[in-house]
């Protein structure tokens, strides 16, 4: 295992130490120890910058399940390194911020830091994994750990609701994405992303291309909160502010952005990829902007603004993917969109992270985030106000801040679509710049609302839960100050990251189009002259200002009063319907009667087997190779049949026990006659133990009286029992004769030939269970282990004295 593998696993390993640090070093905030992990990792990943800047990549392999092609392969290029730096760099600042934000003695800091380390490690695994199966494993860990972070304050119903919604949406997307990955494997015959990119021509021309692409995009859209899967993100704001600043501005929501960027060389060049990503992205930008205007909570406004900004980045990736279709054209026409996407990805992490932290500071110091109760905080919290105005100006796209630079590139990249002479980009593509411009107006407007409604106006101390409002302690301000300084530095020196971070990431998204020595280069500057982009920005400022100045009028509209997203309403109705439907089915199934359970299971099994045998012509009958049966076997089988028929008629408990044991011993005798000693021995042991147990609890057994069973129920019992018996008979006969009727060799021959050589044992049953079906056995043991944990939890459960037992 290499140092790079250790770097990815380091957060998981350190998470094991957090409970002990919290327990035995209570005088020191646990966060000081935890912060060392992302800080060291950030320094480590910085050391890769010279490698990626020179156009080189690093691949480290660790075999996991090589027989299935599943290896823990890590790949460092410009794109993965950019995300690794964001994950660890922003992670360091978030943990520093949380040390002061979560300083209360009642906070469960051991839980918080374990969860955040799990999330950090999972995110590193997502962006660095070359194997899509390993990527999927880390992907789902991000969903689980983020849900744990969102529900950190689990006593609040809103926190639990937000965590559940994020789990349902993102895990659904993850499972869908796994289906897409499976189709990719069918097409490319590899799990390696590098090899898929190399064989993208085969994938593009495959009949499964479109289904695989859609399934992968569903996973990306759910993670990055694209419409209509965006509904989980606003409710996730119930998490502590450090979680919001980390998960929903720089990491988790960027996982979907990363996946689209990484898969662009695989699916790019297709009209479906271009239009789906660009259209959904630009509409998400507009929808998020409109929704943000209706919010009254600071974090809710920032949440919908994040949705809008993610849509903006997604639309740029879609627009830039056209470069794969028209590789011989003007690079700048297509790759400007990719440049804007990468640049704004960095800028968004800086200003949005700082804004979330300031929102947390305001909540921490005033006791509320409701803009209707806030106002006049500029003189009371001048540092927070300064940080906010810079971050908001950058988000609104005002010069000279970094958000202005990436927004101008965004306008250029989207307007270039009109010049695309393929896929109707030159006809209906004109709609995209119009929507982008309107969405930018909304961005400016809600940025103005946040600042002026929070820091300007009249101070309202009577409406605040905290009576003595003051500026936050310096420890809580350090992290947002560093992020705002990053905003300013990038604004002053926009090309500082051009060749070390931005261009290598672009080369990873557009391999073969942008490469080392390419004629295209990154050159970001403020003044482009009087052009259409600048005119659009001026229009955004003018109309956005008018919208803010007239807010008292349009805020009285009904749409402004409805804060909840309409898609959330649909989700809630659907969720309630799902719960009621499941309860209805459960009441129908879980009757408490063993007979009903058997009927349900047997009907399903019989139906499935019947369909399978007819669908695949599985029924075969031939007695050609059947051996002769001695007369005494007919006597034994007749005795067995009579005993089984009489057993339900017996009313005496002792007689019933004897007859049941007699049936079992007869079956063991039949196994012995047919030379199956293992089965006979197992049957004898089971029957002996069963008879002993029945005798041990003899006096506690119920009386065997005849129940008054309805005729319909008796008829159903007879039909189901008969169908089950016929099914077993037909399957047994077909299994016996299948090899005679078809050219296929029975699978049993494989076990006969390989049990010793591959499994190292002569007992085929044991070898099959332990070796050939080892994974199944492991999962069965996992189920038993989970059940054991559940039993232990029930035993340890302590019920309060006031609770009903």
Closest CA to 242 of 344, 112, 141: 112
Average pLDDT over residues 769-777: 79
Residues 6+ apart with CB under 8 A from 420: 322, 326, 333, 426, 429
Q: Is 60 helix (H, G, I), strand (E, B) or coil?
A: strand
Burial class (CB in 10 A: 0-12, 13-18, 19+), 785: exposed
Q: Looking at residue 655, what is its pLDDT?
A: 84
Taking 90 as the threshold, does the pLDDT of residue 38 lie above it? Answer: yes
Percent of the residues in the chain that have a pLDDT greater than 90, as a whole number:
53
Checking phi first, is residue 333 left (phi over 0); if not, alpha (psi -120 to 50) or beta?
alpha
Q: Which two tokens stand for residue 370?
A: 């409701």
Q: Looking at residue 695, what is its pLDDT?
A: 82
Residues facing residue 71 across a β-bridge = 63
Closest CA to 599 of 701, 714, 702: 714
Gap between the Cα atoms of 249 and 243, Å rounded: 10
Closest CA to 437 of 662, 661, 286: 286
Window from 49-53, 116-120, 512-516 with minimum mean pLDDT = 512-516
Residues facing residue 370 across a β-bridge = 297
Q: Looking at residue 75, what is its pLDDT?
A: 95
Closest CA to 177 of 133, 147, 146, 207: 133
Taking 80 as the threshold, does the pLDDT of residue 326 lie above it? Answer: no
Gap between the Cα atoms of 305 and 284, Å rounded: 10
Closest CA to 335 of 322, 349, 354, 348: 322
pLDDT in tens, 619-636: 777 777 667 778 888 888
Gap between the Cα atoms of 170 and 147, Å rounded: 10
**CA max distance for the chain:** 105
Q: Looking at residue 422, what is its pLDDT?
A: 65
Q: Looking at residue 210, what is its pLDDT?
A: 95
Taking 60 as the threshold, does the pLDDT of residue 597 lie above it? Answer: yes
For residue 736, name the pLDDT band (cuts at 50, 70, 90).
confident
Q: Looking at residue 9, what is its pLDDT?
A: 96
pLDDT in tens, 362-410: 998 998 999 989 989 999 999 999 999 999 999 999 999 999 999 999 9
Q: Which residue reads 């089988």 in tokens?
A: 637
Query: What is the b/e burial string over 745-783, where b = at least 16 CB atoms within 10 angstroms of the residue's CB?
Result: eeeeeebeeebeeebeeeebeebbeeebeeeeeeeeeee
Taking 70 as the threshold, does the pLDDT of residue 518 lie above it? Answer: no
Gap between the Cα atoms of 285 and 278, Å rounded: 11
Taking 80 as the threshold, does the pLDDT of residue 60 lie above it? Answer: yes
Taking 70 as the threshold, does the pLDDT of residue 17 lie above it? Answer: yes
Closest CA to 265 of 191, 320, 330: 320
Taking 80 as the threshold, does the pLDDT of residue 600 lie above it? Answer: yes
Taking 50 as the threshold, does the pLDDT of residue 745 lie above it? Answer: yes
Taking 60 as the threshold, does the pLDDT of residue 330 lie above it? Answer: no
DSSP state letter for 623: -
Taking 90 as the threshold, does the pLDDT of residue 477 lie above it? Answer: yes
Q: Which two tokens stand for residue 312?
A: 């903006």
Gap between the Cα atoms of 406 and 422, Å rounded: 26
Gap between the Cα atoms of 295 and 291, Å rounded: 7
- pTM, full prediction: 0.83
| Mean of all residue pLDDT scores within the chain | 88
DSSP state letter for 511: B
Residues 6+ apart with CB under 8 A from 445: 293, 544, 547, 548
Gap between the Cα atoms of 261 and 245, Å rounded: 22
Average pLDDT over residues 254-279: 92
Q: Looking at residue 519, what is its pLDDT?
A: 45
Average pLDDT over residues 420-426: 66
Gap between the Cα atoms of 535 and 527, Å rounded: 13
Taking 60 as the threshold, does the pLDDT of residue 804 lie above it? Answer: no
- Which among 162-166, 245-249, 588-592, 646-650 has the top mean pLDDT? 162-166
Asked if residues 133 and 191 have their Cβ atoms less than 8 Å apart, the reply is: yes
Average pLDDT over residues 454-480: 89
- DSSP letter string, 230-265: TTHHHHGGGS-HHHHHHHTTTSHHHHHHHHHHHHHH
Query: What is the b/e burial string over 683-717, where b = at least 16 CB atoms within 10 angstroms of the residue's CB?
Result: bbeebeeebeebeeeeeeeeeeeeeeeeeeeeeee
Report the run of H or E that residue 58 belongs to, with start and end. Answer: strand 58-60
Q: Kindly report the number of other CB atoms within 10 A of residue 162's CB atom.
A: 22
Phi–psi pair at 75, nearest 5 degrees: -130, 125
Average pLDDT over residues 130-146: 95
Q: Which two tokens stand for residue 198?
A: 């190399």
Q: Please report, in angstroms and rounded to a whole number, the separation of the first and last CA atoms in the chain.
A: 52
Percent of the residues in the chain that have a pLDDT greater than 70, as a whole number:
94
For residue 541, name the pLDDT band (cuts at 50, 70, 90).
very high
């Amino acid at each position: 295992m290499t140092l790079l593998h250790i770097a990815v696993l380091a957060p998981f390993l350190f998470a094991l130490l957090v409970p002990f640090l919290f327990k035995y070093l209570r005088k020191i905030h646990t966060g000081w120890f935890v912060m060392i992990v992302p800080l060291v990792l950030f320094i480590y990943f910085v050391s890769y910058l010279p490698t990626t800047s020179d156009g080189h990549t690093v691949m480290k392999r660790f075999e996991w399940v090589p027989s299935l092609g599943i290896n823990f392969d890590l790949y460092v290029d410009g794109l993965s390194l950019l995300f690794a730096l964001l994950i660890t760099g922003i992670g360091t600042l978030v943990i520093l911020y949380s040390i002061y934000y979560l300083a209360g003695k009642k906070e469960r800091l051991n839980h918080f830091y374990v969860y955040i380390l799990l999330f950090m490690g999972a995110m590193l695994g997502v962006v660095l994994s070359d194997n899509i199966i390993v990527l999927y494993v880390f992907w789902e860990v991000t969903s689980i750990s983020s849900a744990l972070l969102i529900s950190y304050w689990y006593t609040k119903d809103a926190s639990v609701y937000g965590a559940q919604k994020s789990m349902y949406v993102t895990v659904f997307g993850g499972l869908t994405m796994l289906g897409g990955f499976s189709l990719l494997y069918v097409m490319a015959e590899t799990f390696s992303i590098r090899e898929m990119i190399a064989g993208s021509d085969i994938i593009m021309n495959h009949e499964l291309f479109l289904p695989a692409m859609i399934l992968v995009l569903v996973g990306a859209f759910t993670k990055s909160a694209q419409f209509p899967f965006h509904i989980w993100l606003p409710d996730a704001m119930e998490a502590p502010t450090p979680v919001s600043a980390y998960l929903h501005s720089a990491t988790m929501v960027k996982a979907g952005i990363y996946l689209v960027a990484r898969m662009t060389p695989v699916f790019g060049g297709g009209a479906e990829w271009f239009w789906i990503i660009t259209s959904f992205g630009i509409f998400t930008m507009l929808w998020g902007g409109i929704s943000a205007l209706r919010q009254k909570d600071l974090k809710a406004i920032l949440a919908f603004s994040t949705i809008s900004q993610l849509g903006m980045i997604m639309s740029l990736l879609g627009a830039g993917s056209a470069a794969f279709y028209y590789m011989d054209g003007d690079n700048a026409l297509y790759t400007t969109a990719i440049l804007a996407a990468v640049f704004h990805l960095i800028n968004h992490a800086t200003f949005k992270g700082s804004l979330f932290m300031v929102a947390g500071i305001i909540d921490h110091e005033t006791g509320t985030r409701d803009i209707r109760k806030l106002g006049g905080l500029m003189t009371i919290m001048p540092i927070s106000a300064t940080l906010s105005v810079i971050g908001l100006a950058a988000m609104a796209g005002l010069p000279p801040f970094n958000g202005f630079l990436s927004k101008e590139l965004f306008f250029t990249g989207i307007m270039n679509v009109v010049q695309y002479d393929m896929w109707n980009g030159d006809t209906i593509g004109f709609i995209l710049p119009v929507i982008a411009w309107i969405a930018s107006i909304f961005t400016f407007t809600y940025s103005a609302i946040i600042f002026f409604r929070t820091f300007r106006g009249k101070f309202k101390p009577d409406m605040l839960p905290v009576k003595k409002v003051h500026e936050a302690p310096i420890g809580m301000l350090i992290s947002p100050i560093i992020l705002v300084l990053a905003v300013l530095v990038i604004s002053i020196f926009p090309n500082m990251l051009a060749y070390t971070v931005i261009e290598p990431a672009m080369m990873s998204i557009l391999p073969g189009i942008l490469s080392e020595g390419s004629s295209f280069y990154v050159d970001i500057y403020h003044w482009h002259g009087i052009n259409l982009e600048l005119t659009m920005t001026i229009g955004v400022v003018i109309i956005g200002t008018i919208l803010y100045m007239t807010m008292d009028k349009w805020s009285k509209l009904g749409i402004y009063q409805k804060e909840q997203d309409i898609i959330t309403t649909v989700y809630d109705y659907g969720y309630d319907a799902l719960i009621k439907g499941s309860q209805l089915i459960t009441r129908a199934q879980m009757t408490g009667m063993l007979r009903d359970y058997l009927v349900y299971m047997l009907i399903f099994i019989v139906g499935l087997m019947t369909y399978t045998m007819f669908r695949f012509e599985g029924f075969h009958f031939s007695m050609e190779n059947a051996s002769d049966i001695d007369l005494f076997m007919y006597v034994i089988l007749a005795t067995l049949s009579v005993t089984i028929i009489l057993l339900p008629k017996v009313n005496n408990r002792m007689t019933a026990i004897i007859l049941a044991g007699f049936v079992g011993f007869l079956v063991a005798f039949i196994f012995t006659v047919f030379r199956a000693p293992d089965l006979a021995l197992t049957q004898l042991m089971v029957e002996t133990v069963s008879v002993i147990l029945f005798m041990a609890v003899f006096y506690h057994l119920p009386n065997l009286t005849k129940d008054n069973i309805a005729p319909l129920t008796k008829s159903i019992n007879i039909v189901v029992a008969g169908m089950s018996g016929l099914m077993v008979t037909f399957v047994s006969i077909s299994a016996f004769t299948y090899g005679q009727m078809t050219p296929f060799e029975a699978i049993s021959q494989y076990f006969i030939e390989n049990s010793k050589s591959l499994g190292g044992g002569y007992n085929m049953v044991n070898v099959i269970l332990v070796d050939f079906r080892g994974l199944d056995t492991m999962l069965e043991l996992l189920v038993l282990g989970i059940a054991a944990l559940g039993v232990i939890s029930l035993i340890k459960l302590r019920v309060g004295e006031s609770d009903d037992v």
